[in-house]
Amino acid sequence: MRKNFLCLMLLFVTLVSACATSPTGRRQLMLVSEQQAITASREAYLETMAPLKKDGKLNTDPRLNQRVEKITGRLVAQAVKMRPDSANWEWSVGVIDDPEMVNAWCMAGGRMAIYTGLISKVDPTDDELAQVMGHEIAHALANHTAEKMSVAMATQMGVLAVGVSSDRPALAMSTAAVAATLAIGLPNSRTAETEADQIGIELAARAGYDPTAAASLWQKMAAVGGSRTPEFLSTHPAPENRMQRLNELAPKMMAYYQAPGERPIYPLHEALSAGAP
């Protein structure tokens, strides 16, 4: 019992001391540094994209690629203004040719992808497409990759801390999972999504895209797929009050959207060459 208690106390001290603050002021668990998350994401990105390129699964339609790159470049320009240190990231976006996949993502370090299935099935306007990519960029700006990696690590630490002194492995694992969750006060996926919604709609508005499109985008997302949930909704849960919240945010973003002046386009890396050896 004493050994078990000491292990849990060590776990608790480690978790409490490994906190950071997100761009919205939310406390985050950070056992993994952002740079570690960027390095891990770099490897994952290359492992994901290289086979797709080899198999001819990266979109070659110049009009679609240009559309996605222009919208994303305008968003990234605002992201870099919001977080100047992200100018050092290898921002890139690839369009993956998969007509059935309704999804998009942005890894730590600014490597992004969107699937042709989202374009064809959702049929977003430019304003709505900007909301998709702005939301994904927001996940990177808010360091959600490192946060999720840290949560996974914390759970593993809890299993180890309790398991080393237990002769009942199944019970030890269950107890550790509960202990880790209580210790870190883990924000659920809805919290992270709310944060990405808030940051993403502002990025899009600052980039010159209508903030009212955020709610219409999610209406379209909800209508896609019939009985089969699109991948985007399985990884980006949409609570019933999401559109209401976005409709409430939209008027607050109008000043950014209506501000005069040209919106700069940030120069993006080529999709597969970003971070390549």
Please write the tens of the pLDDT for every residue from 134-182: 999 998 999 877 777 776 666 554 433 333 344 443 333 333 323 222 3
Query: How would you classify the pairing of strands 19-21 and 104-106?
Result: unpaired
| Displacement of CA 57 from its chain's centroid (Å) | 23
Closest-CA residue to 12 (of 154, 214, 222, 193): 154
DSSP assigned state of 271: T
pLDDT for the residue numbered 30:
60
Is residue 145, in this structure, part of any structural domain at all?
yes
Closest-CA residue to 214 (of 104, 121, 134): 134
Amino acid at 247: N
* Mean of pLDDT values over 202-217: 97
Other C-beta atoms lying within 10 Å of the C-beta of residue 252: 13
Q: Do 113 and 179 touch, CB atoms closer than 8 A? A: no
Confidence check: pLDDT of 8 > 80: no
- CA–CA gap between residue 93 and residue 220 (Å, rounded): 23
Is residue 90, in this structure, part of any structural domain at all?
yes
Q: Do 90 and 110 touch, CB atoms closer than 8 A? A: yes
Confidence check: pLDDT of 187 > 90: no
pLDDT for the residue numbered 7:
45
Q: What's the pTM value of the predicted model, to 2 decimals?
A: 0.78
**Domains of the chain: total:** 1
Indicate left, alpha or beta for 59 from its phi (over 0: left) and psi (-120 to 50: alpha): beta
| Beta-carbon contacts of residue 174 (< 8 Å; ≥ 6 apart) | none
Is 136 tagged catalytic?
Answer: yes
Annotated active-site residue in 69, 128, 136, 231:
136
- CA–CA gap between residue 40 and residue 173 (Å, rounded): 26
Burial bucket for residue 227 (CB in 10 Å: 0-12, 13-18, 19+): exposed
Is residue 268, in this structure, part of any structural domain at all?
no
C-alpha dihedral sign at 123, 232, 268, 196: positive
> 191 is in which domain, residue-wise?
2-258
Q: Which of 137-151, 181-195, 254-268 has the weakest average pLDDT?
A: 181-195
Is residue 271, in this structure, part of any structural domain at all?
no
